[in-house]
Amino acid sequence: MRERFGVIEMCAHAASEKKAENLVLLDLRGISSWTDFFLIGSALSEPQLKAIASSIREQLRDRLQLQPLSVSGSPASQWIVIDYGGVVAHLFLKEKREFYAIENLWRDAPRLRGPWLDR
């Protein structure tokens, strides 16, 4: 479990460095059978969305020697999902995040706090 918190912290830090907005961490343990945490963040533009996703992938590769299990979406789709197994990062353009409102789909999940969340 400690490893997952390292992945969460690194994802949140990498996203924060690229000025991701409204970072939220949902604890899905006991709710989801396929992952433990969602990190959700917003970008203001497609280039920023690409930079946030790239920063997460590069930092986890370089510092934790981790590659994602899968990456879906693109800046043009305005929603990128980076799956590290126990931690899944959902990165949106602000408007897409409001449209899909995945926080509402998982409203029973506790929101966790950390130094790079809820800026």
- Residue 4: band (very low, low, confident or very high) from pLDDT cuts 50, 70, 90: low
pTM exceeding 0.95:
no
pLDDT at 119 over 70: no
Q: What is the pLDDT of residues 64-105, one digit of tens each?
A: 999 999 999 999 999 999 999 999 999 999 999 999 999 999
- Superfamily, domain 2-112: Beta Polymerase, domain 2 (3.30.460.10)
- Whole-number average pLDDT of the chain: 93
Q: How far apart are the first and last CA of the chain?
A: 25
Reduced 3-state DSSP string for 12-51? HHHHHHCCCEEEEEEECCCCCCCCCEEEEEEECCHHHHHH
- Joined together, the tokens standing for residue 96 give 């897409």
